[in-house]
Structure formats: structure tokens, C-alpha cells
Amino acid sequence: MKNIKAQQLLNKIQRDLMRNGIIINTLVNDLKKLRTIIVDEEENPLLAKALRLSYEHIEKFEGFEIAIPDDEPVEEGEDTPENIAATGQESLDYLLSLMADPENKVNKIELREYVNALNTYAEEN
């Protein structure tokens, strides 16, 4: 993220999230403001889409129900330890950290995974 205002707002969102958890109204408003900056000044469609899907998800489901993307695919029939499941707040914080450097190759891949997961969750629920 190159825009100073966007960086500052992203930092504020992350601080608020860590201090207060997911406060829906504040978080949604801040994510909408951030998306406006991204659309107007950053011109990054992936980031804009991830932001829009995130705040729509938070509004509709009153939380963030998307898991952090796995580093390694889970083999079919293999159980995943439940103690490694991240909370919605942790997952959202991770998503926001990816947004800080959306041009990073790995971050781009994971942002796409979040977009896919958000779309899939919306379709299934």
C-alpha cells in the first residue's frame, strides 16, 4: 500500500481490532473508508474486492467467520487439530496484515484465497 492515508487507516483498524475486538459498526465504516481510498488512489482491484467482501461479510454475519488460509493443503481424510483454528479476530487481523503489502507475491495469493473463501461462505450461507 503506497498511500499514506490508507496505511494510517489500516494501522488504526488493526489497533482497534486488537484492543477492542470486532466492533461491527466502527470496523465496517473504517473498511469502507479504506476501500474508497484504495479504489480512488491505489487502483488495486484485488484489494478493493477483498475489502468490500470483508465488510459485507461482517455486516451480514455479525463477525468474521473465515479461517486463515492453510499453508499446506490438508490431505483428504486427514483431521486438523482443533487447537490451531484461529478466531475470526485473528483471521481478520491476518487479512489486514496481507493488505499492507498487496503487491507481495505470497500476499496476493493469500488475498485471492480470502476472496474465494468469502465468496464461498456467502454462497453457502
pLDDT band at 43 (very low <50, low <70, confident <90, very high): confident
Task: Report the amino acid identity of residue 59.
Answer: E
pLDDT band at 71 (very low <50, low <70, confident <90, very high): low
pLDDT band at 6 (very low <50, low <70, confident <90, very high): very high
Residue 51: pLDDT above 90? yes
Residue 11: pLDDT above 50? yes
pTM metric for this prediction? 0.85
Residue 53: pLDDT above 60? yes
Count Cβ atoms within 10 A of the Cβ of residue 66 and give its class: 0-12 exposed, 13-18 middle, 19 or more buried: buried
SS3 115: helix
Residue 77: pLDDT above 60? no
